[in-house]
Structure 1
Amino acid sequence: MARRKKGRAVHGWLIVDKPAGMTSTSVVNKVRWAFDAQKAGHAGTLDPDATGVLAVALGEATKTVPFITEALKCYRFSVRFGQATNTDDAEGEVIAESDTRPTDAQILDALPQFEGDIMQVPPKFSAVKIDGERAYKLARDDEEFEIAARPLYVEELKFVERVDEDHALFEMTCGKGGYVRAIARDLGEALGCFGHVEWLRREWSGPWDAEDGISIAEIDEMAKTEALDAYLRPVEEGLSDLDEVMCTPEGATRLRNGNPGMVYPANGVEYGDEVWASFEGKPVAVGIYKSGELHPSRVFNL
């Protein structure tokens, strides 16, 4: 006999405006506790000192996490010129310094090399795995190791403001797997002056803005009450980058059992497209559209 899961069957997204000083895992655990939810996860880690959008998925919404992970995200951050740190942010130890400072024109000239499809080496203090070990654990133990460069799509890297000689603000819109700390490090090297991230905020992620997020204090205040439930967003918001098709009644039944099911034609949807199907206002499945049928890859139990 299957063991009954502890907690409530809560389904949806909670958009948290993460404060500095908390890990992403701590935020997820806090949300899961506050809802007394059976299952929770997040769509894209933020460093402990970073703030901004952390989208927490509850229940069946966890099945949509990969689609938010793939979505574009926007970060605003400050770069401190003249210093490199071992963590590539302000929490680390200064390992190199320079008296050189770039002009605004030099900064603007350097930015295009960080846009488009680029290769990026993640920071040594990161969760990247090296032979089964997290890089940050190896770095803390002063182990010598190299991290291979990884592809990253940067839609835009914008120079926002020169705060003073030592500091400048930037905004970056990018795909999954990007490290803002690595951008600051590499920009400092390209400018011949070193650099690291002083602070970092994720302004938006996929369909969600930081200004719409709930604070940890508000979560604590409304924990385990219906007031907090009112902040829960629908599961299908995690599917905003996919087209929607409608199931026939028979198709919905077949899809819920994991079989291909009939769906109604939809404008712009073509053979082979990945879409999501709904029935009576609720998501039923995600899958591949083929000749009037959806072939499911994920099925929702709602």
Structure 2
Amino acid sequence: MQISELAHRANTTVKAVRYYERLGLITPERLPNGYRDYGEAHLRAVREIRDLTGIGIPARATAPFVECLDLGHQHGDDCVSSLASYRDSIREVDRLIELLHDRRARLVSRLNDSAERGFIQEDTMSDYTSIPDDLPVPTDDGAASPLPGMRMPPITLTASDGRSVDLTDLGAGRTILYLYPLTGRPGVDLPEGWDAIPGARGCTTEACDFRDHHDDLQAAGAARVWGLSSQSIDYQAEVVDRLRLPFAMLSDAGFRLADALLLPTFAAPGHPRLYSRLTLVIRDGVIEHAFYPIFPPNEHAQQVLEWLVRHPLDSD
């Protein structure tokens, strides 16, 4: 088979197959006319490499698995050398987790120092930069099921940077629009029982996750990222400044988008109506995909990034 057929059947790209060849993982036959010729064994190898890279094993480290298949085993990890590769990868992940944990602790410390500067410190102030381990997980009530394929309504909202944003004309490419209830603020208590409401807690951590992965999202095909809630434009501007967000926030205090698309909302003490957490992928004015429910919020930008990587624009 030709390289294009191999890539299609393996659910990967021609570029990836050529990269595997350069690494020496697969070696195609050559036809008399000089064209590469791939067989079923190459297909098995490429699928194995694709699956392994999908769980974080670099392509260059998949050689033991490919060799195991070449020896006639049914699975690439039937060989002892493959198990050793698993262990090496796990050790590397553990090392990275330790480094990231230390980095996060230092970032949180600096963020708290910055965010609380100028505010009166309260003994009972909530830590908005992390989420409790026992938060209730929201369930899918089907509220977002009708959204894919719907056109964005003709609504213009004000952004935190003062711009007027027409939701029907967001520009070329994909737009990530993430909706959330409200962000916490130093010195201001969250609504009573906030942590007990499934899907409520975590707006600040979600915003920070989109901030930290903003460049990655753009590299994966997101032309722009917007946050949206029913909080006032002044509140949104303060959040953007305090969290050092590289994107603007939209204010929809009248729930115009919720009413137009029948989006899910909920109530909390002191707040008769709030947006439920939901993210839209919008392309050419049409909702391409909806993330709902969202959990955990502090990893949601990474979930969006993974979706973008699996659904590149040039594959449509």
- TM-score tier, shorter chain, comes to under 0.3
| TM-score of the superposed pair, with normalisation by structure 2 | 0.20
Structure with higher strand content: 1
Computing the radius of gyration from Cα coordinates, the structure with the larger value is 2
Q: Which one has the bigger helix percentage?
A: 2
Higher relative contact order (CA 8 A, sep 6+): 1
